[in-house]
Structure 1
Amino acid sequence: MITMLSLLYKSTYMFVVFYYAIVPLGYLTKWWITDTDEKMKGNSTILVTGGAGYVGSHTVVELLKNNYTVIAIDNLVNCYAKNNNEKPEALKRVERITGEKVIFYNVDIRDKEALDKVFKSHKIDSVIHFAALKAVGESVKIPLTYYQNNIGGSGTLFEVMGNNGVKKLVFSSSATVYGTPQFLPITEDHPTGQGCTNPYGKTKYFVEEILKDLCTSDSEWKVILLRYFNPVGAHESGLIGEDPSGIPNNLMPYISQVAVGRRDKLQVFGNDYPTPDGTGVRDYIHITDLAIGHLKALEKMLQPTFTSWKAYNLGTGCGYSVLDVVKAFEKASGKQVKYEIVGRREGDIAECYADASVAKRELNWTAKKDILSMCQDTWNWQQKNPKGFQSPCQGC
């Protein structure tokens, strides 16, 4: 009997020691936390405008992985769907990647009535706003279309949000708001709106100003402006990536289409810039790093202590020239990328790269992938999807 009591006391003692010492230590060091615990970070419903686009679809992946409910809207201008009544192919593949469902509406943000119906059909907590026309060169040719869509559409969205009591927003802005850089690397303190070289950049600047005025007029509004640099790459699965319609406006998809044989050669716009090799220098950021940056911004904005608005740069802090990217892609793919030098493109600038230290300090975010990884993932996507989303993914 005494022996049994002694064993019981010892067992009780060991349990108490384990429960009050080992378990808390495990939580502090995070080795006790399961994948399920990590996924419980998000527990709210997020409306993602432009959710079927390049940056939008990759961000939806990260949201779903972190247990957020996602409602995506898109007018199919920058994405592929078999018909207007079908979910875009990018979101179908997002569902394959995550094993989660995406609620989708074919809605243009300029359609106030349709937008309002979405808000009234769901309890939306916050919005991540991507929907916009986004090609620098095109914006120079059709500026009125860009102003009507990007500024007019955003104004309608914000009005509908306010009418439905949803006043938390992460805005997909751009480094183009800084115009021609007055100093490098560019910090968030760099002037905005001065010397914007194209209508696309001006639309991002004007929408930022609208949001700042909203926050001033109503303390319930909470806004984070993400000024990011040049998104490239693709999801590591090769299921989703950048799939421009027509001739690509951005460098990386053009290079990859040359490498896969869809185009004869790359046009390099200008080799007389004051840069090491004369071609334009940009800060390229992997699309997955960028998507995670949106998640970090959302988490920051949802904190009770966050008020008004704040801007963050998302970039690597490294500048790569056009020819640097060509060489990196040739190394990643084992393919030669033919190119020709042509005249400068209107609206372009010589150099642009970020100081992203504020995002590192306040969002606990930093870009992890280098230029070679960006090229490898782009090539993986392009090989598996030689014609983009319009053909089945090969080997996926």
Structure 2
Amino acid sequence: MKVLVAGAAGFIGSHVVLCLLESGYDVFAIDNFSNAVEGPDGKAESLKRVSELTGKDIPFAKCDLRNEQEIENLFTTHKFDAVIHLAALKAVGESVDKPLEYYANNLIGSLNLLSVCKKHGVKNFIFSSSATVYGPPKELPILENASTGQGITNPYGQTKYMVEQVLMDLSKAEKDWNIVLLRYFNPVGAHPSGRIGEDPLGIPNNLMPFVAQVCIGRLPVLKIYGDKFDTPDGTGVRDYIHIMDLARGHVSALDRIKKAKQIGCEIYNLGTGKGYSVLEMVAALEKASGRKIPTEMSVPRPGDIASCYCDPSLAYEKLGWKCEFGLSEMCRDLWNWQLNNPQGFSTAAGPN
């Protein structure tokens, strides 16, 4: 199968591309570099490193999904069997400040991609969704049939929920689509080689890249937002998943489409099913790095919830997928990446 991966140069995308190539899929990668480093030759540094790791060439095009003609040109020139759609603006806080940008990019881009897929008969589609669609969980662990769309506190989460609705409606109207919605929990870590990992542009929005940058000395201190939650140590609990486990989930979803031939629309949680608190995550990275991480307590941010973790057993039952890595491996590989790439992908080759 030839798979178009949209958003291929980002943290999740680059690891997904690597896993696809290692599993024998052909990949065509696109990205608009809104959250990835573009090299001087117009190629993505992350994907160059994936090429080195896999020994395989990765055809790539710079493409912005808001431009339907650019997508049309791709589909006219190349024949694709499936699409993995990871392309989105994804910073929760920024989405509150810039809602129009988020709705324009995430919704219009998705609609353009789907209409070109439909026109060219490419109806195997995997969508990168998020645990944010659940809003504040009413029960833990979260199952796939929990209610969605209620109490979502930010435009980023709303865009994921809205695209899910589009895909569900599409699969009801047109029975020949095979659609998988993968609801990610909190991806962390890096490829064990330390060659690819998370390199957010600007200040990291997610906890662990921020913690790693404090640990390496790029940022001065970690602010912990809230220590009075109803959790064992008072800090927020989340379901962190190793990026390699998350990436393999996409291969499992494609394998399912290939085997089952006709699945309609299926939804899977990708998480470990276990929650870790902020303080546990900090302690685990301190252990992996052998360094002390300075922290200071702050007040909770609007919309922050105490705990969020899933039940991933449906993915095991239907996809044969489950997590292989735990917290120590997540932090080991995150630290290995950070140590070898103190300035992310713009770091000169080799460790400092």
Higher Rg of the two aligned structures:
1
Cα RMSD (Å): 1.2
Q: Aligned to 1:248, what secondary structure does the other structure show?
A: coil
User: What displacement does 1:307 show?
Assistant: 2.3
User: Could you tell me which residue of structure 2 aligns to residue 170 of structure 1?
Assistant: 126
User: Could you tell me which residue of structure 1 aligns to residue 13 of structure 2?
Assistant: 56
Deviation by residue 1:233-284 (Cα, 9 ceiling, x = unmatched) = 0000000000001110001111111111111111111112211111111000
User: Could you tell me which residue of structure 1 aligns to residue 222 of structure 2?
Assistant: 266
Distance in 2, Cα, partners of 1:88 & 1:225: 26
Name the % identity. 53
Distance in 1, Cα, partners of 2:349 & 2:191: 13
Distance in 2, Cα, partners of 1:378 & 1:192: 31
User: What displacement does 1:136 show?
Assistant: 1.2
Equivalent runs, 1:305-344 vs 2, <5 Å: 305-344=261-300
Q: Aligned to 1:302, what secondary structure does the other structure show?
A: helix
Q: Which of 101, 112, 115 is residue 57 of structure 2 equivalent to? A: 101
Distance in 1, Cα, partners of 2:104 & 2:31: 16
Between Structure 1 and Structure 2, how many residues are aligned?
352
User: What displacement does 1:395 show?
Assistant: 5.1
Unaligned runs of 5+ in 2: none
TM-score normalised over the length of structure 1: 0.87
Distance in 2, Cα, partners of 1:353 & 1:324: 15
Equivalent runs, 1:58-137 vs 2, <5 Å: 58-83=15-40, 85-137=41-93
Distance in 2, Cα, partners of 1:317 & 1:328: 18
Q: Aligned to 1:76, what secondary structure does the other structure show?
A: coil
Runs of 4+ in structure 1 displaced over 3 angstroms? none
Distance in 1, Cα, partners of 2:298 & 2:340: 31
Which deviates the most, 141-150 or 328-337?
141-150
Deviation by residue 1:304-342 (Cα, 9 ceiling, x = unmatched) = 443210000010011001011000000011010101111
User: What displacement does 1:301 show?
Assistant: 1.6
Letter of the 1:182 counterpart: K
Distance in 1, Cα, partners of 2:228 & 2:107: 34
Deviation by residue 1:354-384 (Cα, 9 ceiling, x = unmatched) = 1000001111010111111100000000000
Distance in 2, Cα, partners of 1:194 & 1:263: 35
Which deviates the most, 90-99 or 294-303?
294-303
Q: Aligned to 1:101, what secondary structure does the other structure show?
A: coil
Distance in 2, Cα, partners of 1:301 & 1:135: 30
User: Could you tell me which residue of structure 1 aligns to residue 236 of structure 2?
Assistant: 280
Q: Aligned to 2:190, what secondary structure does the other structure show?
A: coil
Q: Is the contact made by 2:130 and 2:157 (CA closer than 8 Å) also made in structure 1?
A: yes
Q: Which of 39, 46, 52 is residue 3 of structure 2 equivalent to? A: 46
Q: Which of 159, 179, 184 is residue 140 of structure 2 equivalent to? A: 184
Q: Aligned to 1:349, what secondary structure does the other structure show?
A: coil
Distance in 2, Cα, partners of 1:122 & 1:104: 12
Letter of the 1:99 counterpart: G
Higher relative contact order (CA 8 A, sep 6+): 2
Distance in 1, Cα, partners of 2:165 & 2:261: 23
Q: Which of 335, 354, 360 is residue 310 of structure 2 equivalent to? A: 354
Q: Is the contact made by 1:137 and 1:346 (CA closer than 8 Å) also made in structure 2?
A: no
Distance in 2, Cα, partners of 1:338 & 1:173: 33
Distance in 2, Cα, partners of 1:80 & 1:346: 31
Q: Is the contact made by 1:280 and 1:322 (CA closer than 8 Å) also made in structure 2?
A: yes
Deviation by residue 1:50-108 (Cα, 9 ceiling, x = unmatched) = 0000000000001111121111110001100134x521100000000000011101001
User: Could you tell me which residue of structure 2 aligns to residue 209 of structure 1?
Assistant: 165
Which deviates the most, 338-347 or 105-114?
338-347
Distance in 2, Cα, partners of 1:306 & 1:336: 52
Distance in 2, Cα, partners of 1:332 & 1:136: 28
Distance in 1, Cα, partners of 2:201 & 2:28: 24
Letter of the 1:228 counterpart: Y
Letter of the 1:335 counterpart: R
User: Could you tell me which residue of structure 2 aligns to residue 392 of structure 1?
Assistant: 348
Letter of the 2:333 counterpart: D
Unaligned runs of 5+ in 1: 1-43
